[in-house]
């Protein structure tokens, strides 16, 4: 049963890969310097546009679910990164960007 469920979940992730990576690329490229509220608004509009054009994607987009590596995220937490989603998303953006992105620090450090 567990293997069947895992295979089904993997199939769904594979089907949604195109839209999720498209939205992830947009988040990394354009949304680093904006607040969490603005990021959520932009991502929700992108998800709506993907649905409008029939691009397969996850119903609820999450950068952590798309590009996050749990081992790296845990190591960042041990190194002192706050455990909020905004900080983790910032870490994912920095880890996946080709250049140093302009970022907002939620803890004003």
In a domain, 102, yes or no: no
Q: Which residues contact 107 (CB under 8 A, 6 or more apart)?
A: 82, 87
pLDDT of 109: 57
What are the b/e assignments for 33-46, b being 16+ CB within 10 Å?
Answer: ebebeebeebbeeb
- For residues 91 and 76, give the distance between their C-alpha atoms in angstroms, rounded to a whole number: 8
Number of helices (H) and strands (E), helices first, in the chain?
A: 6, 0
Task: Write out the E strands in the chain.
Answer: none
Q: Does the residue 86 lie in any domain?
A: yes
CATH code where residue 54 lies: 1.20.920.20
> Does residue 108 lie within any of the structural domains?
no
Query: Residue 53: which domain range?
Result: 1-96
- Number of structural domains, the chain? 1
Query: Which pLDDT does position 14 carry in this prediction?
Result: 87
92 belongs to a structural domain: yes
Question: Mean pLDDT by 10-residue block, N- to C-terminus, for the chain (109 residues)?
Answer: 90 90 92 88 94 92 92 94 89 86 67
């Amino acid at each position: 049963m567990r293997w069947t469920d895992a295979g089904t979940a993997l199939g769904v992730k594979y089907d949604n890969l195109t839209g999720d990576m498209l939205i992830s690329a947009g988040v990394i490229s354009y949304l680093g310097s904006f607040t969490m509220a603005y990021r959520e608004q932009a991502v929700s509009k992108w998800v709506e546009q993907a649905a409008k054009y029939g691009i397969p994607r996850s119903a609820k987009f999450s950068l952590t679910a798309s590009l996050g590596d749990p081992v790296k995220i845990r190591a960042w937490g041990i190194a002192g990164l706050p455990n909020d989603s905004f900080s983790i998303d910032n870490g994912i953006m920095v880890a996946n960007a080709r250049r140093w992105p302009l970022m907002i620090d939620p803890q004003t450090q």
